[in-house]
Amino acid sequence: MNTIKTMTFMVGLTLVLVWAGAALGGRSGMTMALMFALVMNIFSYWFSDKIVLKMYRAKEVSENDAPELYSIVRRLSQKAELPMPKVYIMEQDQPNAFATGRNPEHAAVAVTTGIMNILSREELEGVIGHELAHVKHRDILISTIAATIAGAISYLAQMAQWAMIFGGSRHDDDEGGSPIAAIVMMIVGPIAAMLIQMAISRSREYLADEGGSRIAGNPRHLAGALKKLHMASQRIPLEANPATSHMFIVSPLSGGGIIKLFSTHPPIEERIARLEAMAR
């Protein structure tokens, strides 16, 4: 069911992009919007993993550097029938983790030093299983495409704003979009893109929880890890870019109110309840 939801949301996000391009420049604007998204997707496909790892100063480690972590990743990768991903450690106090890479053959799993200090081996296995499920489901590619399309929509909205300021809009439906449609797109487009992107991310988190529990062997271990990670993330800050917050196993952005409302992660209570239901 979550897979069907994801595909539906991806189609919806693409349609919002096409509509935004059409509102800004008619048929030619729609074509340019699709080409722009294609170029951004190609760049993201090849380089997004390297950019994110450098952003958080993650360092690749060998089995000699982190024997327990490395052995967990290797054992669970074999169990999941995945190639051994590269293993990275981030010098961050907040306990967290993420996976990246364009496909299972070019994947990486990164954890913070904080997560290795507060989790038991079984709980860490639950977290690694979750990240390997993301790799197995190719969620990184899906989330990258979703983020790229959403970014393209926001960029088009900014273009529309400048076009309205300098009077650059046209009225011919074949050559330029309607000014009214452009105004609506400036307001509604970015909001719709953000909401759809959030829905995609939340659906993939539920799938990764389920798949990761099967890889690690016990849903209760991941549930226990999520409890600890959520509590710690509220107390220990992590200077995370909001554009990459969806990659982490729990949201690295602390706070409630508007931040919680627009979180890319499902409510932690719901995730834990589903895992405990699986265990029963």
Contact 163, 227 (CB under 8 A): no
The yes-or-no answer on residue 68 being catalytic is: no
Can you tell me the distance from the alpha carbon of 94 to that of 230, in angstroms, rounded to the nearest whole number? 10
Can you tell me the distance from the alpha carbon of 41 to that of 17, in angstroms, rounded to the nearest whole number? 13
Element (H, E) at 141: helix 139-165
Residues 131, 210, 269, 270: which is the catalytic one? Answer: 131
Can you tell me the distance from the alpha carbon of 110 to that of 108, in angstroms, rounded to the nearest whole number? 6
CA separation, residue 174 to residues 31, 82, 229 (Å): 12, 49, 53
The two tokens of residue 279 are 């265990």
Contact 49, 102 (CB under 8 A): yes
Residue in 250, 202, 204, 198 with CA at minimum distance from that of residue 227: 250
CB neighbours of 273 closer than 8 A, spacing ≥ 6?
none
Residue in 144, 158, 115, 141 with CA at minimum distance from that of residue 243: 144
CA separation, residue 190 to residues 13, 168, 183, 186, 260 (Å): 10, 21, 12, 7, 19
Q: Which residues are catalytic?
A: 131
